[in-house]
Amino acid sequence: MVNARSILFMLGFLLGITLTHSSRAQVEMGVSIGEEGLRGFYMTIGQYFKRPEREVVVVRERGLPDEEIPVAFFVAGRAGVEPRVIIDLRLGGMKWMDICVRYRLSPEIFYVPVAVEVKGPPYGKAYGHYKKKPRKQWKTIVLADDDVINLVNLRVMSEHHGIPPTEIIKIRSGGKSFVVVNDDIRKGKKDKGSKEKGKDKGKGKRKS
């Protein structure tokens, strides 16, 4: 005879396998991000690289992690090839720096100028490489995959949202993923816009 525990287990199993990517909640660095947050991240990528949102989603469906999607588009643009070419290489197991070497791309392309010295994770190591060598030797730098991902996403978040890189670094250092960082920035802009509209309405009112 099937007991209650077995029934609950089967129900949970069936529920788990029927959840789709578009409907399940995503957990990013301990912070739950749902479909709206992920779509906002894909929109940011599409708008920055001037690509249809659906194309970004297709890349994700192929199995490339969310925060590596901007890297694929960025490297493809610099290499002068279609993103699918870079994505095939990455999904095939190649490191980001090996892909760059294949297309003769210098690590210099990943450098994002900042106004202050960057120390500590997740950016201290990457910026340390650039600091230790004169610019003419930057082509000899070897960045880890995480460093490449962090630097490309830093550029995208900063340039797309018009926020200084140091601010993005500060937020990122708190442990939030870029999906969450992007969601926070978008919500912050919405809140700011709503407050400004409220002020404008208040100014338009005549005193009785």
Structural tokens at position 82: 């279609």
d(CA 116, CA 120): 13
Indicate the pTM of the whole model: 0.77
Nearest CA-CA partner of 45 in 54, 36, 33: 54
pLDDT of residue 173: 87
**Domain ranges (residues) in the chain:** 26-183
Query: At 18, is the pLDDT very low, low, confident or very high (cuts 50, 70, 90)?
Result: very low
pLDDT of residue 137: 96
pLDDT of residue 204 exceeding 60, the answer is no
| Helical H segments across the chain, by residue range | 4-18, 35-49, 53-61, 69-79, 83-91, 96-102, 124-132, 145-161, 165-172, 178-204
Q: Quick one: what percent of the chain has pLDDT higher than 90? A: 68
**Segment among 20-24, 47-51, 201-205 with least mean pLDDT:** 20-24
d(CA 40, CA 152): 17
